[in-house]
Structure 1
């Protein structure tokens, strides 16, 4: 959080540029008015007397009863004009609001990598979700373990009692998946343990993004993944086609298991797992849609399963892409952004890391892999899709607060500099007013602490309630 607060949004550059221009202009203004008071004291005194204002120093040295000389009065004007215009409030406008915004996020389990991220989130027009573990619970359970016979009938569903058994198939897959962080793999390992299936731990484990995993088990290379993985290793996945289609049509995620030995390669079978959509995911998609934000889903899972989940979430079929490789996810995000849409990618797996890095804003679910979290701009500590909406609300509220602060700081200087230049403020009062402007900006920012991202930030309602 401290690191995030040290990184300021781009709007801070605007304040910095204003301050850089502001300081020399203020000094020049003070010098000009000091010279004018020396050159035309009576004329300026008459002007001040005509104003409907009560000033502590008003009308110039003549009205002051000769207590100060013209030169002394001009120096007082110079000092007041410089003091009243100190750009402290401008400098505090952005960091004060950013500090509060990132703190609100942390309080609600939303970690921003920096104030610049806060600003980018507010610009998001499209949110792209990964499926497993993001929109679904990610708590997969194995529902079917189907060994495939080596017949050539297009994929027999009957179990083989000779070559491969259910326990053997599950043991082979669990031996490799015990090293995996993916929810699919963890579910296979859990199923093997629940069924008291003994399995070894594979060596030379390798995760192949967009395809699956492989490892060495008892001098044989075991492959667990999709058809791309098996085909890349010379194994024909066609015999599993009938079983795979039947299982995927019921919104189950399916992995294929194969092995390579010194005697050749073969397809062992199919393992299916079921997941459930998070209840809050439905609300999150609906709320984002109501906010005018387009929702997409990109997943490495099969098309039948992806479309079934999208239907449950009311995501438009045209906004669903299935069987997408990691580098293709990044390309998909790029294509959306190339259409002029600022996109937020939300995911939790190794496969999502390239897309998270490509998106305008990458958002990782806190329970996700370390690689995904490292690639992300925002980390959600809870597995709740509604936190995506809260992230956008906090960003919008913080930017609104920054603009309020800048408006106040600029408005204050615009109003007070002429008063000081006309000799209506003593230096001590000018210094006090300057400090008051900084305190006002800080106070306005601290009021933002009371905001809850459960609702949209609205200035009028905040003023009314507080």
Structure 2
């Protein structure tokens, strides 16, 4: 390991030499480099030594110098290692052959042989380097200890880009060797072959052999390794076919070149040399490599949405420490840190504004382009971009806890999930390769039996073409590529999909059950009136606000906020109890305070009061307000009315859903009068009021028993059972974490119109998957018989193995490119 220290009292070359000798006297230190200008000492040690140990070494040598650690420790790395990975060191197969199984290294998938892809890291670790001295790397911003320049962010290494670059290098080398092999082979078609003037056909064969060797044993050797692995593990795949086909052609050609006498005349030319297929081997392997290259390029784009999300968080933030601004790396931010956000800066973590105001662009998170005004007390989300005003925020969620990190994790997980429709492709792929090998054998036998002369040659070439053209990878990629791109597109539009199965189900939903507060309404209720029959309403407000200070319900928070705005102090509450779906109970000043709906009052046998009070309550409810009864001991002595405006998008969303044949049912714990007022405004034909969590759960079960596909939209803890039971649970991103965990879809903005987006996305993804499966099926259904020579008896047409290789290479690419079209759909 290497560390940098500073010896402050060095002034000359003699000092430098003495310090170097003193430190090297320690057995654990094997190298010391000293920069006299900056007094920086780079120490390379086998195990970490404390600063006191180093100081004592100098004193022992009679050097009364002070050795210190710089403000930030710098680490010297060899230049080839001065990059950091943006992944987490865990790899997965893009075809998800073993489901969500991951692998510790980037070798080929043990099932299909394809290159594994590294999972991106959910949390960001940022390092910094000097633009002039790339071996200087540290985990905090600052200046270079050697030249003093400001350090810059160390660019992360993209494993997919590295794979692409490696394949590109091999592709160039393969093409360089394959082209002359192809030219030599094709020269036989030229009358009076000019190359025969230079050397004999036998010698030209040796030239082809030499040029083919680098392709077989270097640039494309990985295909044979994967083929071998697939055979010994009996996980037959595309590389099985490529390896067998090109391997047989290469071995045949080598034997024919060195031992021509063992072959029958059918395989020989007029000059007595054996027909060689080095050009088929070289060109086919190069074309397969080209397909892998194009596939790697296309595949890197399928995860483009996830990569874009990873880029949303900034590398640094401005920490306010004792009113002094300090630039720190994002991964060093701690909960409750105060951060300064300047105009144009990205928000580093989730938090709340404590000073100032601004407008934030949250489009990267929510998918909505309109800036959102934020003032003191409002929450801000990592990845948002600040407008033209500065503010101070308090960090509340950092690292993997931020909404952005959760979105990245959800997208990452959903991209690896398997849709039910993929089972068909998996079943066919299981038997695909053995069937193709059997067809190749039958092709050879039929040509030998019924084909024209030279029958053996025709049989051999067409059998190789059958092996090469078949592409099980196109089948395997059909579903996961569409899912990956679709999930990413949804995330960019504020619709988070938890798994692929929900993408398949969402388009079939015919009933939507929705909560009211926070789902149809803004979820930002405010107190309209506190009515008291015993005098000062503020006294009653103090009691119910004190009671609600322990509750996270939006209505409770509205009451607490109302008390704060009136500077009413809260008091201690004993025996607090929250009763789900009903309200809260507690003891204040030896009085039992009950706050909640009518069912809670009846359960606690509290006298409702006179008719005049009930008339006032009913009138407020008919205005669409939520009314909670306030009981003191055994009698209702007042009420609090709370308004929560309906979201502007709710009516539009419900209208479109009903136009698509979806029945929308509102189920709320609110009273019937309030529920009816909201239902009338939204033109809902069906609603249920005064619902408990089990009522919503039972309703969903009832509808499912009738064969309905039910979606449930909610945002509260009490919605969790229903969200879990529904065929598709839809949580508002503005709601509770429990609701989000219980749901399969999360709408980041908490906007019901996101359900329309989810249905559009579901339809588009399923259509795309079916197109991909059709392409894959029709390609193999038509390609294999043509390669076998089915057109020859009628049209005299045969498919060259090289053309077959080209078609095979582009089949997988066509599936991926079709999946990429999902990025352009409008939600």
Fold similarity call, TM over 0.5: yes
The corresponding residue for 1:340 is 707
Aligned positions, number: 408
The corresponding residue for 2:648 is 279
Structure 1 runs of 4+ aligned residues shifted over 4 Å read: 218-221
> Is 2:621 the counterpart of 1:248?
yes
The corresponding residue for 1:7 is 417
Cα distance in 2 between the residues matched to 1:106 and 1:236:
51
SS in 2 for 1:144: strand
The corresponding residue for 2:784 is 417
The corresponding residue for 1:400 is 767
Question: Whose radius of gyration is greater, 1 or 2?
Answer: 2
Task: Give, in angstroms, the shift of residue 343 of structure 1.
Answer: 1.1
Contact 1:174/1:192 (<8 A) preserved:
yes
Cα distance in 1 between the residues matched to 2:438 and 2:592:
79
Cα distance in 2 between the residues matched to 1:167 and 1:339:
51
For residues 169 and 83 of structure 1, do their structure 2 counterparts lie closer, same or farther at Cα, with a shift above 3 Å needed?
A: same
Gaps of 5+ in 1: 43-60, 63-69, 148-158, 454-466
The corresponding residue for 1:432 is 806
Contact 1:181/1:369 (<8 A) preserved:
no
1:320 pairs with one of 672, 678, 687: 687
The corresponding residue for 2:124 is none
Task: Give, in angstroms, the shift of residue 440 of structure 1.
Answer: 0.4
Task: Give, in angstroms, the shift of residue 5 of structure 1.
Answer: 0.6
The corresponding residue for 2:826 is 452
SS in 1 for 2:468: helix
Deviations 1:197-247 (A, max 9, x none): 221254554332111123444455432211222332332335453332222
Contact 1:178/1:201 (<8 A) preserved:
no
For residues 203 and 20 of structure 1, do their structure 2 counterparts lie closer, same or farther at Cα, with a shift above 3 Å needed?
A: farther
Cα distance in 2 between the residues matched to 1:268 and 1:19:
72
> Is 2:430 the counterpart of 1:20?
yes
Task: Give, in angstroms, the shift of residue 196 of structure 1.
Answer: 1.9
Cα distance in 2 between the residues matched to 1:144 and 1:379:
34
Greater helix proportion: 1
Contact 1:243/1:270 (<8 A) preserved:
no
When structure 1 is superposed on structure 2, of 13-22 and 388-397 the one drifting more is 13-22
Cα distance in 2 between the residues matched to 1:297 and 1:26:
55
SS in 2 for 1:76: helix
SS in 1 for 2:474: helix
Deviations 1:296-336 (A, max 9, x none): 111111111111111111111xx111111001111112222
1:34 pairs with one of 433, 444, 447: 444
The corresponding residue for 1:177 is 548
The corresponding residue for 1:195 is 566
> Is 2:600 the counterpart of 1:229?
yes
Cα distance in 2 between the residues matched to 1:427 and 1:202:
83
The corresponding residue for 2:462 is 77
Contact 2:609/2:635 (<8 A) preserved:
no
Cα distance in 2 between the residues matched to 1:238 and 1:92:
68
Cα distance in 2 between the residues matched to 1:327 and 1:249:
26
TM-score, normalised by the number of residues in structure 2: 0.48
The corresponding residue for 2:522 is 137
Gaps of 5+ in 2: 1-410, 793-797
Cα distance in 2 between the residues matched to 1:344 and 1:336:
11
When structure 1 is superposed on structure 2, of 207-216 and 306-315 the one drifting more is 207-216
Cα distance in 1 between the residues matched to 2:787 and 2:743:
49
Task: Give, in angstroms, the shift of residue 117 of structure 1.
Answer: 1.3
Contact 2:468/2:808 (<8 A) preserved:
yes
RMSD: 1.8
Contact 2:609/2:637 (<8 A) preserved:
no
Cα distance in 2 between the residues matched to 1:357 and 1:216:
35
> Is 2:475 the counterpart of 1:90?
yes
Task: Give, in angstroms, the shift of residue 429 of structure 1.
Answer: 2.5
Cα distance in 2 between the residues matched to 1:348 and 1:302:
19
Task: Give, in angstroms, the shift of residue 73 of structure 1.
Answer: 3.6
Task: Give, in angstroms, the shift of residue 41 of structure 1.
Answer: 1.8
The corresponding residue for 1:67 is none
Deviations 1:231-289 (A, max 9, x none): 323323354533322221222101112245xxxx4434211111211111111111112
1:387 pairs with one of 729, 749, 754: 754
When structure 1 is superposed on structure 2, of 178-187 and 193-202 the one drifting more is 193-202
Cα distance in 1 between the residues matched to 2:719 and 2:761:
24
Contact 2:451/2:458 (<8 A) preserved:
no
> Is 2:577 the counterpart of 1:206?
yes
SS in 2 for 1:88: helix
